[in-house]
């Protein structure tokens, strides 16, 4: 059995001392390959953020990516309005069922859920901002595409997946703060996340 000289270990026990702190993160923070092609601002994992979480000795629960699961890797970019359907919301809740079970189990045994880190700009995982627009109908003509692009905007709202996660947690009286990485300026968000983790 390997032993390390580290204050994280209990004296003489050889067992790692747990922080008993956990954070939930959007799937693409640990796997950027799940994002719509061309959107990821980092490769593989968001290492700077993961290192920051690790320094605070916080465990991670990786949330599922509903867009990848339902639409696959060849999907187009979407807006919140396209995902605002009973089908999509119900499937988000099904994906979250096991996550909520884990969270409840951790809390019941004395662990602290530090929060949730989402992805601002995402129609699913946005926290402060989500993508919105008149993104529907036939896109075969240039005029139609130009209209859709001009109509795209970010609005102050949760994405659909984050809405369902928040509701699901509230059903079990679990209150945790939600923060986010800004997809349009990824690295500027790190200071905000750092401040959040230092609280």
Using CA atoms, how far residue 151 sits from 7, 94, 124, 142, in Å, is: 55, 32, 19, 14
Question: Cα–Cα distance between 153 and 130 in angstroms, integer?
Answer: 8
Question: Cα–Cα distance between 120 and 118 in angstroms, integer?
Answer: 6
Query: What pLDDT does 186 receive?
Result: 77
Query: What pLDDT does 97 receive?
Result: 97
- 3-state SS of the chain: helix, strand, coil percent to 5? 40, 15, 40
Question: Cα–Cα distance between 37 and 8 in angstroms, integer?
Answer: 41
What is the chain's pLDDT, residue by residue, as a tens digit (199 residues)?
444 445 554 445 556 678 899 999 999 999 887 876 544 555 556 888 999 999 999 999 999 999 999 988 877 778 899 999 999 999 999 999 999 999 999 999 999 999 999 999 899 999 999 988 876 655 555 555 555 566 778 889 999 999 999 999 999 999 999 999 987 787 788 888 999 998 8
């Amino acid at each position: 059995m390997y032993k390390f000289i580290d204050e994280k270990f209990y004296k003489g026990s050889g067992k790692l001392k747990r922080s008993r702190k956990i954070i939930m993160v959007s799937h693409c923070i640990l796997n950027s390959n799940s994002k719509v092609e061309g959107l990821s601002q980092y490769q593989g994992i968001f290492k700077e953020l993961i290192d920051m979480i690790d320094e605070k000795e916080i465990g991670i629960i990786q949330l599922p990516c509903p867009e990848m699961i339902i639409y696959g890797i060849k999907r187009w970019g979407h807006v919140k309005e396209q995902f605002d359907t009973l089908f999509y919301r119900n499937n988000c809740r099904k994906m979250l069922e096991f996550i909520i079970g884990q969270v409840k189990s951790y809390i019941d045994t004395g662990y602290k859920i530090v929060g949730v880190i989402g992805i601002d700009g995402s129609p699913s995982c946005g926290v402060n901002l989500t993508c919105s627009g008149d993104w529907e109908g036939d896109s075969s003509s240039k005029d139609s595409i130009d209209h859709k692009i001009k109509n795209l905007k970010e609005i102050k709202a949760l994405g659909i997946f984050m809405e369902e996660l928040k509701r699901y947690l509230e059903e079990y009286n679990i209150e945790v703060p939600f923060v986010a990485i800004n997809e349009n300026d990824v690295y500027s968000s790190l200071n905000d996340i750092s401040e959040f983790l230092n609280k």
